[in-house]
């Protein structure tokens, strides 16, 4: 606290020019924004604290001097990392110049920019040849565009402070050439509908706005014209480089987001992509209010922020859908900008303030000041996440991500199912895969990407080979594998053409929430219909998941359904026989990375209990002695130890046509090594049984050890809410209206429930 006050004092009193009155900035910082900030210093602790910390960090970095090395390295290497830290620093120094008026900041930016101005014209393409679109400062244009998005903001902050001659020189010798390079000279980078192009568009547009270069702004908004490109060219992720008629920033917005703000590559990339979308939008809002950019497509940009916030566990970590480094969260730099912006430009939604409080910093512009003042004024409210279906596709009709949640605040259970589009180059072959959480703990875990972002020791920080050979493959996910192959035989282009069909999303009853989707394309001739039900009932400590995976096919297939639990297996009801010499499960589609540790024949009901980080997890699933139970172990054919040694339980059902996998997954109890007293360590589900599975209906019952029982019936061919259904089973008649029914029988059974 003392330190903080001291720093504030420094900020107020260090060599300022209090009469500083050059023409103000106009891009992100604005004259009125700067005025608002200066008027409210000392009134918004979160803003003041962010500023104080920035002053310390920036002054330290500036004291280490300027270095603008000749580009040479890949990510992780010195020149790459240095240019990267340069652009972050320049943006921050610009902010400090505007807020404090201290010319040392402006001078630093000027000197650095002139160092770049001196070097840039001497540069050819970057010597590293890996990229489909090589940059000049970095190995790929993407990073050059990152540089320009940040440096535009910095340049804008000193634009009025520079002399006319200085501006001319920088415009003509550095920025305009760079903008041309990133657009007309590299159309395969600039004119796609892709997150790389979004960065390119924003970079070119923002520097255009700073220089009042309307040609660049038009290029950014509408693309750099058509150019002949090979129609089979691919980028480094194996995705096709197509330049459409549609291109430019507005087309990116049209195509990148669904009407619900979902971004088809998934939240990890959306988080990354949102920054250029939002920062360029903020600049357009300030300099081109005529475009009404935040209202564009029903305000889809700000909907995108909410879509991101909803795709998180209770710690704010994004669901690792498609390529994603696990652990990335709403605490990231990009979300710090995005959430304050959503607060300011949308509806000053007070529940966003509680997230900003967790971020513990605000962007140092008027959006951040506005949020910090509101927090200081006690306006913050909890952000309550609800069950939601986020539709995919520009028109919202190409599948979806379904999210079921029970308990908003404590002991939150979250179930996620992907039945959205594949996700292009960063997509995984995981349609109908689920992952789930108990607060911030993974229950059924998705692997995420095989990549250590920016860690040079792991192949320079880029995607590892195992990302393709393992992480993207179907067996790496909590979904069905047919005949030991991946969906679409792991063909990205094929996968990009299809999407599952949302069948049902019903969250009207908080105690029985249902999501359901059908996939008929991932495997030829196989209809997969997965239904996930989240049930709250006093028989269970936490809400229970009922998972029905129905397979309909005329040919005979071998089916594998894996369940990925973290932590230690405590017990199964089948006796697992370990393999003497551990063999590999297959030779492709990810199976080459799995060892077969142990196996068993199935029982009528298969049960297993796991323990991880003080909590117990149990699965109970229908099986038979024709099934095999495999305990896998990840790590085979992994010479560089790139894979985590995870242990899936795989239920293998060979030689079947139509079948239904029915399972419950429970989260229960607690155990700490300090108290050593287990609480509720046993599963409360006694059994699960399939009562009927035909072309139209699936009926499943399950019972708890306290004697309560449930019957879930569902029509799989008619999701209308009005249709009446009648079914006669062996010893009961079922009648209901609408696609599904759950009956609950609380039987007074006196059973010793330990």
631 near a copy of itself (CB under 8 A): yes
Is residue 334 within 8 Å of residue 275, measured between CB atoms?
A: yes
β-bridge partners, 632:
596
666 near a copy of itself (CB under 8 A): no
Q: Which is nearer to a copy of itself, 498 or 610 (CB)?
A: 610
581 near a copy of itself (CB under 8 A): yes
Which of 40, 49, 236, 325 binds a copy of itself (CB under 8 A)? It is: 325
Residue of 263, 269, 275, 697 with catalytic role: 269
255 near a copy of itself (CB under 8 A): no
* Torsion angle defined by CA atoms of residues 268, 222, 258 and 315, in that order, rounded to the nearest 10 degrees: 30
477 is catalytic: no
CA 136 to chain centre: 29
Q: How many angstroms separate the CA atoms of 226 and 244, rounded?
A: 8
395 near a copy of itself (CB under 8 A): no
| Sheet strand arrangement including 501-509 | 501-509, 512-519, 526-535, 544-553, 659-668, 615-622, 605-612, 568-572
| Sheet strand arrangement including 441-442 | 388-391, 400-406, 413-419, 434-438, 441-442
Shortest distance (Å) from residue 615 CB to a copy of itself: 13
Which of 39, 360, 411, 568 binds a copy of itself (CB under 8 A)? It is: 568
Q: Which is nearer to a copy of itself, 146 or 183 (CB)?
A: 146
719 near a copy of itself (CB under 8 A): no
Shortest distance (Å) from residue 541 CB to a copy of itself: 16
Residues sharing a CB contact under 8 Å with residue 753, sequence separation 6 or more, in sequence order: 705, 706
Q: How many angstroms separate the CA atoms of 440 and 422, rounded?
A: 26
Q: Which stretch binds a copy of itself (CB under 8 A): 42-50, 153-161, 295-303, 594-602?
A: 594-602
Residues sharing a CB contact under 8 Å with residue 68, sequence separation 6 or more, in sequence order: 83, 86, 112, 115, 116, 119
Shortest distance (Å) from residue 259 CB to a copy of itself: 29
Is residue 703 within 8 Å of residue 560, measured between CB atoms?
A: no
Tokens read off for 214: 């309307």
Which of 595, 617, 702, 712 binds a copy of itself (CB under 8 A)? It is: 595
613 near a copy of itself (CB under 8 A): no
570 near a copy of itself (CB under 8 A): yes
Shortest distance (Å) from residue 458 CB to a copy of itself: 6
Shortest distance (Å) from residue 336 CB to a copy of itself: 10
Helices 195-211/214-222 angle, 10° precision: 160
Which of 672, 720, 732, 745 binds a copy of itself (CB under 8 A)? It is: 672
583 near a copy of itself (CB under 8 A): yes
β-bridge partners, 703:
687, 709
Shortest distance (Å) from residue 690 CB to a copy of itself: 27
Q: Which stretch binds a copy of itself (CB under 8 A): 52-60, 155-163, 204-212, 446-454?
A: 446-454
- In the block, residue with structure tokens 């551990």: 582
Length of the chain equals 754
Which alpha helices (DSSP H) does 474-532 contain, by range? 492-496
Site for a copy of itself in 137-196 (CB under 8 A): none
Helices 103-119/45-63 angle, 10° precision: 50
Is residue 494 within 8 Å of residue 486, measured between CB atoms?
A: no
3-state DSSP call for residue 45? helix
CB-facing half-sphere around the CA of 569: CA atoms within 13 A: 21
3-state DSSP call for residue 422? coil
Which of 331, 394, 656, 734 binds a copy of itself (CB under 8 A)? It is: 331
Residue of 426, 477, 499, 668 with catalytic role: 426
463 is catalytic: no
Q: Lay out the site mask for a copy of itself across 676-705 (x = CB under 8 A, - = otherwise).
A: xxx--xx-----------------------
453 near a copy of itself (CB under 8 A): yes
Q: Which is nearer to a copy of itself, 275 or 611 (CB)?
A: 611
Tokens read off for 727: 């079914």
Q: How far is CA 95 from CA 25, 150, 219, 691, in A?
A: 10, 11, 27, 66
Binding residues for a copy of itself, total number by CB under 8 A: 59
| E strand spans, 205-322 | none
Shortest distance (Å) from residue 567 CB to a copy of itself: 10
Q: Which stretch binds a copy of itself (CB under 8 A): 409-417, 418-426, 550-558, 637-645?
A: 637-645
410 near a copy of itself (CB under 8 A): no
Site for a copy of itself in 339-368 (CB under 8 A): none
Site for a copy of itself in 32-91 (CB under 8 A): 76-78
β-bridge partners, 664:
546, 620
CA dihedral for 212, 214, 217, 219, sign (positive or negative): negative
Q: Which residues bind a copy of itself (CB under 8 A)?
A: 76-78, 325-329, 331-333, 452-458, 568-571, 575-578, 581-584, 595, 597-598, 609, 611, 631, 633, 635-641, 644-645, 647, 671-678, 681-682, 752, 754
Residues marked as catalytic: 269, 426
């Amino acid at each position: 606290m003392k330190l903080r006050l001291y720093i504030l004092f420094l900020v107020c009193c260090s060599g300022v020019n209090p009469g500083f009155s050059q023409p103000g900035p106009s891009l992100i910082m604005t004259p009125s924004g700067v005025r608002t900030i200066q008027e409210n210093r000392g009134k918004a602790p979160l803003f003041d604290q962010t500023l104080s910390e920035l002053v310390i960090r920036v002054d330290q970095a500036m004291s280490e001097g300027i270095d603008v090395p000749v580009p040479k390295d890949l990510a992780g290497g010195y020149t790459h990392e240095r240019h990267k830290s340069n652009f972050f620093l320049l943006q921050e120094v610009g902010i400090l110049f505007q807020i404090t008026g201290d010319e040392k900041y402006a001078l630093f930016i000027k000197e650095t920019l002139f160092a770049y101005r001196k070097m840039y014209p001497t540069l050819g393409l970057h010597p590293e040849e890996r990229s489909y679109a090589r940059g000049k400062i970095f190995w790929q244009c993407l990073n050059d565009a990152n540089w320009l998005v940040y440096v535009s903001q910095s340049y804008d902050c000193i634009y009025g402070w520079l002399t006319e001659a200085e501006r001319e020189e920088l415009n003509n010798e550095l920025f305009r050439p760079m903008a041309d390079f990133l657009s007309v000279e590299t159309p395969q980078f600039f004119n796609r509908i892709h997150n790389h192009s979004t960065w390119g568009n924003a970079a070119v547009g923002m520097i255009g706005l700073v220089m009042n270069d309307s040609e660049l702004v038009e290029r950014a908004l509408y693309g750099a014209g058509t150019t002949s490109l090979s129609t089979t060219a691919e980028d480094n992720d194996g995705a096709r480089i197509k330049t459409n008629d549609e291109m430019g920033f507005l087309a990116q917005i049209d195509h990148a987001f669904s009407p619900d703000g979902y971004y088809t590559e998934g939240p990890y990339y959306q988080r990354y992509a949102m920054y250029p979308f939002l920062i360029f939008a903020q600049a357009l809002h300030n300099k081109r209010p005529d475009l009404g950019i935040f209202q564009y497509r029903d305000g889809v940009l700000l909907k995108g922020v909410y879509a991101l916030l909803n795709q998180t566990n209770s710690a704010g970590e994004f669901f690792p859908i498609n390529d994603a480094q696990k652990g990335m969260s709403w605490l990231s730099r990009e979300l710090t900008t995005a959430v304050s912006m959503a607060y300011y430009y949308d509806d000053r939604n007070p529940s966003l303030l509680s997230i900003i409080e967790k971020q513990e910093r605000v962007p140092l512009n008027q959006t951040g000041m506005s949020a910090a003042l509101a927090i200081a004024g006690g306006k913050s409210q909890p952000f309550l996440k609800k069950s939601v279906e986020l539709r995919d596709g520009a028109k919202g009709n190409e599948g979806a991500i379904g999210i079921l949640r029970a308990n908003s605040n404590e002991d939150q259970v979250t179930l996620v199912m992907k039945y959205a589009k594949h996700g292009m180059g960063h997509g995984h072959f995981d349609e109908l895969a689920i992952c789930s959480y108990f607060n911030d703990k993974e229950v059924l875990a998705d692997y995420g990407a095989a990549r250590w972002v920016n860690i040079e020791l792991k192949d320079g920080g880029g995607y590892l080979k195992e990302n393709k050979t393992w992480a993207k493959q179907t067996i790496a996910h909590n979904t069905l594998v047919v005949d030991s192959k991946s969906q679409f035989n792991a063909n990205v282009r094929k996968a990009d053409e299809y999407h599952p069909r949302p069948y049902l999303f019903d969250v009207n009853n908080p105690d029985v929430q249902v999501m359901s989707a059908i996939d008929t394309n991932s495997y030829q001739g196989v209809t997969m219909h997965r239904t996930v039900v989240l049930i709250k009932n006093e028989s269970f400590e936490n809400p229970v998941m009922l998972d029905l995976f129905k397979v309909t096919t005329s040919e005979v297939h071998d089916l594998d359904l894996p369940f990925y639990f973290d932590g230690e297996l405590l017990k199964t009801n089948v006796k697992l026989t370990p393999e003497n010499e551990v063999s590999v499960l297959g030779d492709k589609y990810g199976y080459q990375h799995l060892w077969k540790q142990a196996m068993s024949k199935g029982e009528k009901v298969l049960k297993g209990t796991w323990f991880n980080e003080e909590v117990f997890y149990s699965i109970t699933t229908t099986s038979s002695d024709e099934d095999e139970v495999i305990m896998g172990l990840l790590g085979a054919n992994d010479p560089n130890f790139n894979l985590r040694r995870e242990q899936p339980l795989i239920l293998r059902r060979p030689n079947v046509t139509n079948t239904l996998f029915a399972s419950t997954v429970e989260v229960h109890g607690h155990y700490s090594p300090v108290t050593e007293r287990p609480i509720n360590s046993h599963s409360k589900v006694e059994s699960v049984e399939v009562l009927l599975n035909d072309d139209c209906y699936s009926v499943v019952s399950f019972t708890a050890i306290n004697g309560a029982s449930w019957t879930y019936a569902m029509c799989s061919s008619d999701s209308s809410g009005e249709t009446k259904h009648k079914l006669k089973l062996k010893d009961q008649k079922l009648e209901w209206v609408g696609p599904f029914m759950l009956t609950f029988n609380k039987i007074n059974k006196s059973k010793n429930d330990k």
